[in-house]
Structure 1
């Protein structure tokens, strides 16, 4: 399995282009997303999780990417377009 495939597994349901996923991987130090993912490497797993977190933060900071959901008597839609960005703290 390649790094980019592993990241796609971690972010199922979120559609980003391979170039956008590659940027998230590059920010974590993975310069070639087509290389083999080290399944037993804890460092590789952390890099994938960090890249996935970056993608999730990107979605959370852009409400226009969020979907509208409607159940029987409940609907969630029209996210506030000017909501403040999520700030990461260490």
Structure 2
């Protein structure tokens, strides 16, 4: 949990880890936490659609997110294994 704000490209925090230095669980939580944050309505904005979020994940693959996990997550959404 400590490292779920690390970014795959090394620009995250608290330890500026990158790539596979980031524990697998943290790489998974990073993408699921982001999905939830974008999907959920906030007092200052409406939640985004699943399609919008998938596009954001694709653009951030290799930057914010582990590309393998991003692809798996998108596949799970497309296969209706994750029901947003």
Using the size of structure 2 for normalisation, the TM-score is: 0.33
Structure with more of its chain in strand, by fraction: 1
